[in-house]
Structure 1
Amino acid sequence: MNTLHGIGLLPVFLVGLLGSVHCAGMCGGIVAALSVPLPARAFPVPVRTVGAYSWEWPAAASHVAAYNAGRLSSYAMAGALAGGLAGGVGRLAGLPLLQAGAGWAANLMLVALGLYLLDAWRGLAWLERGGRVLWRRISPLLAKIGPFDSPGRLFAAGALWGWLPCGMVYSVLATAMLSGSASGGAAVMLAFGLGTLPMLAAIGMAGVRLRTVLQLHAVRRACGLLVLGFGLLGLWRAAGGMPASVFDILCIGAAQ
């Protein structure tokens, strides 16, 4: 992936991809609710029947595509708000030191995320608790949207899901702030969301069995170590310990 205002989108995408093992546990219930098979009469063609319900891959794919599109739109909106706000503050302050401090903060958040995935330190859980204040106001809307029987309803449900309190999302929002603009922040969060998409789409299609595999300690630990590595590499770069090299594409840096 390309870079945006000094921010490599590749590491953001990879953080989403690796960190999505966390989504398997945290968001699995929402995925299950939105992926529930529709009654057999909803399908005009013969399909494999399980109990009173039936399921076919085209229908499953349309559900998954609709609610994930809504989720990604919310991520992009949050990124635009974070990037635009930080850009305004940066222009008012006009201090390079502010950018450098933000770079350190973003990479420290990645370190915190890696430790979170490793279950070594649960500091990001405090941020999630803070986000629950907003979620308590948003979550009742899910009940008003259902039943999830059309692409529009599924998109709306996914858009609300995007505001679920999540330490992983908050850690990447710190990076979105580094972009220095609303469009840059949206791009960062979209890259992150696309990284989470393969895992959550697979869970929506495969269900509980895949969730069980992803919650294995070894899988979560391996992903946590890689995310931790991204954060530590970024801190090394911010400290001036790493010269310009091919590894810069794997680091998150302040906007130029």
Structure 2
Amino acid sequence: MNPTGLELPPMMAAFVFGLLGGAHCIGMCGGIMSALTFAIPPSMRQPWRVSTLVLGYNVGRITSYCVAGALVAALGSVIGLSPTLRGLMQIVASLMLILMALYIADLWKGLRHVEALGRHLWRYLEPAGRRLLPVVRLPQAVALGAIWGWLPCGLVYSMLAWSLARAEPLEGALLMASFGLGTLPALVVTGLAARQMQALLAHRATRLVAAGMIIAFAVWQLWTGLHQ
């Protein structure tokens, strides 16, 4: 039983996690968004076209998150996680968020070892993404975003741990969709105002504030999860 009565529904919590993790998204994917924006031929950089391509990248990326969430949740269903193990996976996800906050703040980089787990798959996908460059049409942007969604990322992996705990493919997909929508503002703004966002992220104070907010939210989720 949660004594605080303040537990967020899983989808809303996933959205907030994505929103607060925006600093990591900008740090990890901001360079990609900037490169893709600047790679558009100058004669084709009309605001409407750039905005359409940026949204296309993110539609593809979030779609891949949904697929990954459904797959790991299906795995959880197959292995038949007990309620205790499901709760444990949610705790692991919250702890990974705390580690991610330390990563964002440049206080501890150990989470890179977790991200390295996905590099084997990325080694095969990355060349396919290169063949789509330069991106000048919406279908290209969506396809490249779908590949980009499999980029190794500790923040994504922490949410996939939650999806595994849900042990229901549709719930896993919706959880990752909510998370992806939470990351959307940071990456859309980065794509449309790349130089300004990179300059903002360069300030250590920005990263520390973002890290502090993530830690506070993760601790809250841990507290409510342990008292259900």
Aligned mate of 1:18, from 17, 20, 28:
20
Secondary structure (helix, strand or coil) at the match of 2:145 reads helix
User: Does structure 2 retain, via aligned residues, the 8 Å contact 1:34–1:67?
Assistant: no
**Larger CA Rg, structure 1 vs 2:** 1
The aligned residue for residue 5 of structure 2 is none
CA distance in 2, matches of 1:7, 1:181: 16
Residues 1:88 and 1:237: Cα distance change in structure 2 (over 3 Å)? same
The aligned residue for residue 140 of structure 2 is 153
The aligned residue for residue 251 of structure 1 is none
TM-score, structure 1 length as denominator?
0.80
The aligned residue for residue 77 of structure 1 is 67
Q: Percent identity of the aligned residues? A: 38
Q: Deviations over 1:208-230 (max 9, x none)?
A: 12221033211111111111112
Q: Deviations over 1:145-164 (max 9, x none)?
A: 22312111111111111111
Residues 1:83 and 1:30: Cα distance change in structure 2 (over 3 Å)? same
Q: Give the C-alpha shift of residue 53 in structure 1.
A: 4.0
The aligned residue for residue 53 of structure 2 is 63
CA distance in 1, matches of 2:84, 2:30: 41
Residues 1:125 and 1:38: Cα distance change in structure 2 (over 3 Å)? closer
Residues 1:142 and 1:65: Cα distance change in structure 2 (over 3 Å)? same
CA distance in 2, matches of 1:66, 1:184: 24
CA distance in 1, matches of 2:188, 2:96: 26
Q: Give the C-alpha shift of residue 54 in structure 1.
A: 5.4
The aligned residue for residue 160 of structure 2 is 173
User: Does structure 2 retain, via aligned residues, the 8 Å contact 1:72–1:159?
Assistant: yes
Structure with bigger helix share is 2
User: Does structure 2 retain, via aligned residues, the 8 Å contact 1:109–1:174?
Assistant: no
Q: Give the C-alpha shift of residue 7 in structure 1.
A: 4.9
Unpaired stretches in structure 1, ≥5 consecutive residues: 1-5, 40-51, 245-256
User: 1:23 corresponds to which letter in structure 2?
Assistant: C
Greater mean deviation of Cα atoms: 107-116 or 55-64: 107-116
TM-score, structure 2 length as denominator?
0.89
User: 2:38 corresponds to which letter in structure 1?
Assistant: V
CA distance in 1, matches of 2:108, 2:193: 31
Secondary structure (helix, strand or coil) at the match of 1:204 reads helix
CA distance in 1, matches of 2:194, 2:220: 35
Secondary structure (helix, strand or coil) at the match of 1:145 reads coil
Secondary structure (helix, strand or coil) at the match of 1:146 reads coil
User: Does structure 1 retain, via aligned residues, the 8 Å contact 2:85–2:165?
Assistant: no
User: Does structure 1 retain, via aligned residues, the 8 Å contact 2:40–2:135?
Assistant: no
The aligned residue for residue 76 of structure 2 is 86
Aligned length: 221
The aligned residue for residue 42 of structure 1 is none
The aligned residue for residue 3 of structure 2 is none
User: Does structure 2 retain, via aligned residues, the 8 Å contact 1:106–1:171?
Assistant: yes
Q: Give the C-alpha shift of residue 96 in structure 1.
A: 2.6
User: 1:77 corresponds to which letter in structure 2?
Assistant: V
Structure 1 moving runs of 4+ over 6 Å: none
Aligned mate of 1:128, from 95, 109, 115:
115
Q: Give the C-alpha shift of residue 105 in structure 1.
A: 1.6
User: Does structure 1 retain, via aligned residues, the 8 Å contact 2:73–2:164?
Assistant: yes
Secondary structure (helix, strand or coil) at the match of 1:139 reads helix
The aligned residue for residue 197 of structure 1 is 184
User: 2:48 corresponds to which letter in structure 1?
Assistant: P
Q: Deviations over 1:38-60 (max 9, x none)?
A: 44xxxxxxxxxxxx545321111
